[in-house]
Amino acid sequence: MSIARFWRETPRRYNLGGSRCLNCTNVYFPPRAVCPSCTAHRQSLGKMEPFQLSGEGEVISYTIVHDPAEGFEMQVPYALALVRTPEGPVLTGQVVDISPEEVRIGLTVRATFRKLREEGKAGVIHYGYKFTPSQAAPSPDRRGAVAESVAEPTATGNAAT
């Protein structure tokens, strides 16, 4: 990956800078130029303002990766999770500073700035967010910690109608 390609995303990958639609107040990460929730998309054009995520979140699903993505060979096995933030967006990232076996759905986490991967010995070093536990791991039977019940779409389209 070229240096510019990674560098231009640093405000988001380093500082969790997202965006909020002034029309409907929904928050997006990474930032979007157009709000997918507003009925008429063009209403949101020019009305997406920068919005800072807090970095707090809760694990809503996870896996332990053994067959890694390129550049992550030295990190296996690693826990990869979907993390729902209190502001709304869900992020994909690693959960570290905890044994992968102890990661659970419902674990509360906080984003932290870490090295993601290196492009070989002489290549670019990529930095960005990973997640660390912000409390002791919950018991494994903490079912229903995050409500994921949402209506299914219809044949004519999705919820944004």
Partner 1 sequence: MRDVAILGVGMTKFGELWDRSFRELGIEAGFQALVDAKLSSKDLGALYLGNMASGSLIEQEHIAPLLVDYAGLSGHHLPAIRVEAGGASGAVALHQGYLAVASGAYDFVVVGGAEKLTDVPDVTANRITGATADQEWESVFGATLPGLWALMARRHMYDFGTTREQLAQVPVHMHEMGSRNPNAHYRNKITLEQVLSAGPVAEPLGVFDCAPLSDGAAAVVLGPLDRARKFTDTPVQIRASVVTSDTMALHHRTSFTRLDSTIVAAKRAFAQARRRLTDVNVAEIHDAYSISALLALEDIGFSEKGAAGRELAEGKFALGGTPTVNSSGGLKAQGRPFGAVGVAQAVEIVRQLRGEAKERQVSGAQLGLAHDVGGTGATSVVHLFERAN
15 — phi, psi (to 5°)? Answer: -120, 5
Distance of CA 56 to the CA centre of its chain: 11
Shortest Å, Cβ 46 to partner 1: 22
- The site for partner 1 (CB under 8 A) is made up of 9, 13, 30, 60-70, 72, 75, 77-78, 80-82, 89-94, 105, 116-117, 126, 128-130, 143, 148, 150, 152-155, 157-159
CB 38, min distance to partner 1, A: 16
Of the pair 22, 160, the CB lying nearest partner 1 is at 160
157's tokens: 């389209």
Instruction: Select 55 or 128, whichever has its Cβ closest to partner 1.
Output: 128
CB 108 within 8 A of CB 135: yes
Q: Take residue 85 and report the two structure tokens written for it.
A: 């933030």
User: Min. distance of Cβ 58 from partner 1 in angstroms?
Assistant: 13
Q: Whole-number minimum distance, CB 2 to partner 1, in Å?
A: 13
Minimum CB–partner distance for residue 152 and partner 1 (Å): 6
Instruction: List, as one string, the DSSP characters of 14-48.
Output: HH-EEEEETTT--EESS--SS-SSSSSGGGGTT-E
The amino acid occupying position 40 is A
Q: Which CA distances in Å does 48 have to 43, 44, 53, 55, 83?
A: 10, 6, 15, 20, 23
Question: Which residue lies nearer to partner 1 by CB, 116 or 137?
Answer: 116
